[in-house]
Amino acid sequence: MRILVTGGAGFVGSVLCPVLLSDGHEVTVLDALHHGGRGLLACFHDPRFRFVRGDVRDRDLVRTLARDVDAVVHLAAIVGFPACRKYPELARDINVEGTRSVVEALSPEQALIYASSGSNYGAVAASCTEESPLNPVSLYAVTKAEAEVLCLAHPRATALRFATGFGVSPRMRMDLLVNDFVRQAVVEKTLIVYERHFRRTFIAVRDMMRAIVFALERIDRMVGQPFNVGHESMNLTKEDIARKVRERVPFFLHFADVGKDEDCRDYEVSYARIRGVGFATEISIDQGIDELIRAMAVLGDDGIANMG
């Protein structure tokens, strides 16, 4: 299969692309390299790999790159609550208009896998299914929900509503909750948690990669639908995560009764639909925390790998 991966140098893409190549696919990555491209260096030895530095909003470029592929995996976005709050106009432009650029470049026969987000649910008392009303409470979630609508209008598209990612990637992200808690515990030896009862749901980055590969291979069974991607065992509170880290690393842990987490998501999710088509996660939150703690030995204080 010939596959275009937008945002392929990012947290998920840098895990995904080597696997796609090892599975025999031809892979083209389009990425603006806002966070560098070192995570893809291991791909360049493969003649089936092509890298193009560019912007997903460049409609002519996207149309040219999409012309000769069988499928597009659309990962390109300004991701996460902090980045979207810092760059609100850029977030809306890339996350929504960049997605529109991708969708408009595709023919009806080409497959589209869109990396959506469970953040779209916002703050919900009940367990969320794919039929639950969306209630995004951050700009990131608003833009992802709008982009999901654009993608699902394409006749061969599916949207994967990922739980919050965690784990080690060639392009590390330390703004993710589990990764951030581990970094603070190991490096700063202190962690203050606001609104400890807020519920989140989590998924390892390698399981995110596996879900994308799964969807590429089964697009015709998943077309036209969103799928929550994660596992109910990782519907956890912020306190649950902090205590799991504290079981492994000695540090000062304080649950603050005064103060507010500006990222107000609070929800849990059902993953029955994606299990129904045969996908299940493999990596537990405990494995992920252990992996992150080990990885801190070669990460700097900011969570970036020492190149020394």
Question: Which pLDDT score is estimated for 263?
Answer: 67
Neighbouring C-alpha atoms within 13 Å toward the C-beta of 130: 21
- Enter the tokens of residue 48: 């089936």
Confidence label for 270 from pLDDT (cuts 50, 70 and 90) = very high
Tell me: pLDDT of 308 over 60: no
Tell me: pLDDT of 306 over 60: no
Tell me: pLDDT of 19 over 70: yes
Mean pLDDT of 238-245: 98
Confidence label for 137 from pLDDT (cuts 50, 70 and 90) = confident
Tell me: pLDDT of 79 over 70: yes
Tell me: pLDDT of 264 over 70: no
Question: What's the chain's average pLDDT?
Answer: 94
- Model confidence pLDDT, tens digit, residues 204-234: 999 999 999 999 999 999 999 999 999 999 9
Tell me: pLDDT of 123 over 90: no
